Amino acid sequence: MTFSLILFLLTVFTGVLWVLDVFIWAPKRRAAAQDELTAFDRDNADSLRRGEQTVVATRNAIVQASTDRPKWLEYTAGFFPVIFFIFILRSFLFEPFRIPSGSMMPTLETGDMILVNKYQYGLRLPVLNTKILPIGEPERGDVVVFRYPPNENIDYIKRVIGLPGDKIEYINKKLSINGKPVPIGEIGEYYDEAKMQSLEEFLEKLDKTEHHLLINPRAPSSVYPLSTHTDPKACDYVPGGLVCMVPKDKYFVMGDNRNGSRDSRSTTIGTVKEEYIVGRTLFRFFPFDRFGKIGDTGRLNIVSAEE
C-alpha cells in the first residue's frame, strides 16, 4: 500500500468522523448539556444567587462539556483539518523527495531533499493518477520525478532528453537529437568522493536549458538491451550505443551522471509514460548550505537518482 493511498484513506476516515461530529454528534451534545444546565439552574438557583464557588464551578463544567469532544474523536476527527491540508498540498501542489543515489550528479547529490511541483504538467486524481486538468507538458531539459515502471511504489528522478516523436542517438558517449548533435563543452575534472574516481565534467545545452553532466572516460561506450525493457522495439542497439524513436506520450530520460545511471537507455525504465511522471523539480531545501532553486548550471546544483 502506497503512502498516497494511506493518506487518502486517512483523510476519508477522519473526514467522515468530522462531518458526523459537526452536524450530528456535537448538536446532540449541546442539546443534552443545555437540558442538564436548565435542570441544574432550577435546582441550584439559591446557591447560584449567593455565588457559591463549588456550584458555579460545577455549572461551568457543564457548559464546557457541551463543546468538548470525546477523546477518541479529538484524536481522529480533530486532526481532519490538518490531514486534509497535507493531502491537498501533497496530492495536487508540492511533494518533497529525497535523492537516493548519485545518478544525477553533479546536479543533485545523494541525500539532497528537493521539492517537486505536481501541478505544472496537469492536475491528477490522487492514487489513480488520472489527469483531470491538462496544464503543461514536460520540456526537454526538465528534471522530473516519475514512478518506476516495474514497481510504481518507487520514485526515480532523471532529466528529460527526448520528447514524443524524437529520434535519440547516444553513440560513443555523444548525444544527438533528431540528427543534430547536442552542444557540449568540457569543464574539467570532477572527483567523485563516494566512489573515489575521477570523472570528466561537461556543460550540455538542451534547448534553453544548460546543465552540467559527468562522463566516465574509462567506462565502455556500449549499452545493452535487457529482456525486461519496457520498449524492446523502440531502440536499436548499435556498436558504441543505441538509436531510439521515442513513442507517443512517452519521454526519453537520462541521468546527468551518464555512466552511473539506469535510465531510458538500457534498463527496465525504458521510455517513460506521461502518466507515470509525478512532477518537475522546483528547488532543494536540504542540506541548507545548498538551499535554493535547482538551476541549469553551477556546482551548487548537485542531484541524484536511483541507479
Q: Give the active site residues.
A: 103, 158
181: exposed, middle or buried (C-beta count within 10 Å: 0-12, 13-18, 19+)? Answer: exposed
Pairwise CA distance, residues 216 & 258, whole Å: 8
**E strand or H helix that includes residue 164:** none
The whole-angstrom distance between residue 108's C-alpha and the CA centroid of its chain comes to: 15
Pairwise CA distance, residues 107 & 227, whole Å: 31
Residue whose C-alpha cell is 435546582: 43
Instruction: Indicate the SS3 state at residue 273.
Output: strand
Q: Within the chain, where are the H helices?
A: 3-20, 26-43, 45-50, 53-65, 71-74, 80-88
Provide the grid cell at 270. 525504458
| Short-list 157, 152, 123, 159, CA closest to 138 | 159
Pairwise CA distance, residues 199 & 186, whole Å: 11
Pairwise CA distance, residues 118 & 129, whole Å: 11
